[in-house]
Amino acid sequence: MKGFAMLGPNKTGFIEKEDPKVGSRDALVRPLAVAPCTSDIHTVFEDALGPRENMILGHEACGEIVEVGSEVKDFKVGDRVLIPAITPNWSDVYSQAGYATDSDGMLGGWKFSNIKDGVFATRIHVNDADGNLALLPKEIEPAEACMLSDMIPTGLHASEMAGVTFGDTVAVIGIGPVGLMALRGAVLHGAGRVFAVGSREKTVEVAKKYGATDIVDYHNGRISDQILEATNGQGVDKVLIAGGNAADTFEEAVRMLKPGGSIGNVNYLNGHDDVVFNAGDWGVGMAHKTIHGGLMPGGRLRMEKLAQLVVNGRIDPSLLITHRFEGFEKISDAIELMHHKPADLIKPVVIC
The sheet with strand 55-56 has its strands ordered as: 11-16, 2-8, 55-56
Nearer to ligand NDP, 57 or 68 (CB): 57
Query: Counting contacts by CB under 5 A, is residue 39 touching Zn ion?
Result: yes
Query: Counting contacts by CB under 6 A, is residue 61 touching ligand NDP?
Result: no
The sheet with strand 236-241 has its strands ordered as: 214-216, 194-197, 170-173, 236-241, 257-265, 290-293
CB 276 within 8 A of CB 251: yes
Instruction: Name the β-bridge partners of 83.
Output: 61
Residue choice 38, 89, 127, 224 for contact with ligand NDP (CB under 6 A) = 38
HSE at residue 303, side-chain half, CA atoms within 13 A, is 28
CB 278 within 8 A of CB 255: yes
* Residues near Zn ion (CB under 5 A), total: 3
Residue choice 39, 103, 113, 149 for contact with ligand NDP (CB under 6 A) = 39
Residue choice 176, 185, 264, 299 for contact with ligand NDP (CB under 6 A) = 176
**Residues between 259 and 318 with contacts to ligand NDP, criterion CB under 6 A:** 266-268, 295-296
Burial status of residue 10 (CB atoms within 10 A of its CB: 0-12, 13-18, 19 or more): exposed
Mask for 113-152, x = binds ligand NDP (CB under 6 A):
-------------------------------------x--
Residue choice 37, 57, 241, 263 for contact with Zn ion (CB under 5 A) = 37
* Contact stretch for ligand NDP (CB under 6 A) within 6-14, 75-83, 172-180, 306-314: 172-180
Nearer to Zn ion, 170 or 296 (CB): 296
Which backbone phi and psi does 160 adopt, to 5 degrees? -65, -50
Q: For residues 183 and 195, what is the distance between their CA atoms, to the nearest angstrom? A: 9
Question: In angstroms, how far is CA 40 from the centroid of its own chain?
Answer: 11
The minimum distance between CB 188 and Zn ion, in angstroms, equals 21
* Contact stretch for ligand NDP (CB under 6 A) within 92-100, 122-130, 183-191, 194-202: 194-202
**Which residues, 6 or more positions from 272, have their beta carbon under 8 angstroms from its beta carbon?**
47
Residue choice 58, 84, 177, 299 for contact with ligand NDP (CB under 6 A) = 177
Q: For residues 3 and 12, what is the distance between their CA atoms, to the nearest angstrom? A: 10
Nearer to ligand NDP, 131 or 177 (CB): 177
Query: Counting contacts by CB under 5 A, is residue 168 touching Zn ion?
Result: no
CB 49 within 8 A of CB 43: yes
CA angle 22, 23, 27 (to 5 degrees): 50
* Residues near ligand NDP (CB under 6 A), total: 29
Mask for 215-254, x = binds ligand NDP (CB under 6 A):
---x-----------------------xxx---xx-----
Binding site for ligand NDP (CB under 6 A): 37-39, 42, 150, 154, 173-179, 197-200, 203, 218, 242-244, 248-249, 266-268, 295-296
Binding site for Zn ion (CB under 5 A): 37, 39, 150
